[in-house]
Amino acid sequence: MNTQDAKRVLETALICAQQPLTLREMRSLFADAVGPDTLRNVLDELTQDWEGRGVELVAVASGWRFQSRPELREYLDRLHPEKPQRYSRAVMETLAIIAYRQPVTRGDIEDIRGVVVSTQIVKQLEDRGWIDVIGYREAPGRPALYATTRQFLDDLGLNSLEQLPALEFGVAPAQALADTAGLQGLLIDEPIAVAEPDEAAADQAGDPELGSELSVNSLSAPIVSDTGVSVPAMPDPQSDAAEQVHTDA
């Protein structure tokens, strides 16, 4: 099979696929008759062919897919008038802490936010498929360690955690995360206030609407566990998939 025919097959498969295609799946289209170098060249050509158009070919955590460009989102949203679920600042702050500091326990999150993390907030993120338990810390009570998932990266249109938006002075991490291509418009616009005792109580009771402002410094400072032991950063849980894409991209 020549390169043009291979590109035609691959383009069709990517357009028709409901989920991102992995490199292994793409090679199976050709019964492994197309080598990794050829596949890499075909993907590069397809990426260039679709430059300047409303749809782009991108590599995300789960593989490769065609997706609409972010600047066209407002037009496409008019085809679906129903508004997507939006998330409170408390939810987005919790997600931002997990994304930038993973793996973390609920205790780590509470140390940074300054308020109790309600079960409702954690469940909301788990139900959305954005976070998951990846293990347990060897500490009293063996608290669960939370990290983001491939679904989280896919929804943001990212290939790896290294592509998360950089934290800038004056911009809360929750806002920076909400402004990324895949999450634009999902943050409920609500005033930010320093957590008062009654706010902390409400958060503990399960009200996700309340939360204190996160600063860049709060995410930069080392996390200290309940036992006082500093917790090192864990390798990207999507590294295997990301490495595959980087290797063959």
Write the pLDDT tens digit of every residue in 188-231.
654 433 333 444 444 444 444 444 455 555 565 544 433 333 33
Is the domain of 11 the same as that of 38?
Answer: yes
Same domain? For 114 and 51 the reply is: no
Percent of the chain with pLDDT over 90: 36
Residue 216 domain-assigned (yes or no): yes
Note whether 186 and 144 are same-domain residues: yes
* Phi-psi category of residue 170: left, alpha or beta, with phi > 0 → left and psi -120 to 50 → alpha: left
Give the three-class secondary structure for 15: helix
Residues 23 and 67 in one domain: yes
Choose between 241 and 20: higher pLDDT. Answer: 20
Query: Looking at residue 234, what DSSP letter applies?
Result: P
Q: Is residue 41 part of a domain?
A: yes
Mean pLDDT of 67-77: 84
pLDDT at 185 over 70: no
Question: Does residue 244 sit within a domain?
Answer: no
- Could you tell me if 69 and 94 lie in one domain? no
Decide if 248 is inside a domain.
no
| Count of structural domains within the chain | 2
Q: Looking at the structure, do residues 161 and 62 belong to the same domain, yes or no?
A: no
Q: Are residues 62 and 145 in the same domain?
A: no
Domain boundary among 76, 98, 130: 76
Q: What is the CATH number of the domain that holds 130?
A: 1.10.10.10
Domain-located, residue 108: yes
The last residue of a domain, from among 17, 49, 76: 76
The answer to whether residues 128 and 8 belong to one domain is no
Asked if the structure places residue 93 within a domain, the reply is yes
Backbone CA torsion sign across 225, 149, 63, 76? negative
- The predicted pLDDT at position 242 comes to 37
Q: What is the DSSP string of 138-158?
A: SSTT-PEEEEE-HHHHHHHT-
Is residue 196 in some structural domain? yes
Domain boundary among 45, 76, 107: 76
On whether the pTM is more than 0.85, the answer is no
Domain of residue 62 covers 3-76
- Domain for residue 68, yes or no? yes
Each residue of 81-123: pLDDT tens digit? Answer: 766 677 888 898 899 999 999 999 999 999 988 889 999 999 9
State the Cα–Cα distance between residues 236 and 249, nearest whole angstrom. Answer: 19
Whether residue 121 is found in the same domain as residue 39: no
Same domain, 217 and 122: yes
Angle at 113 between CA 83 and CA 140, to 5 degrees: 115
Do 181 and 103 fall into the same domain?
yes
Q: Residues 9, 107: one domain? A: no
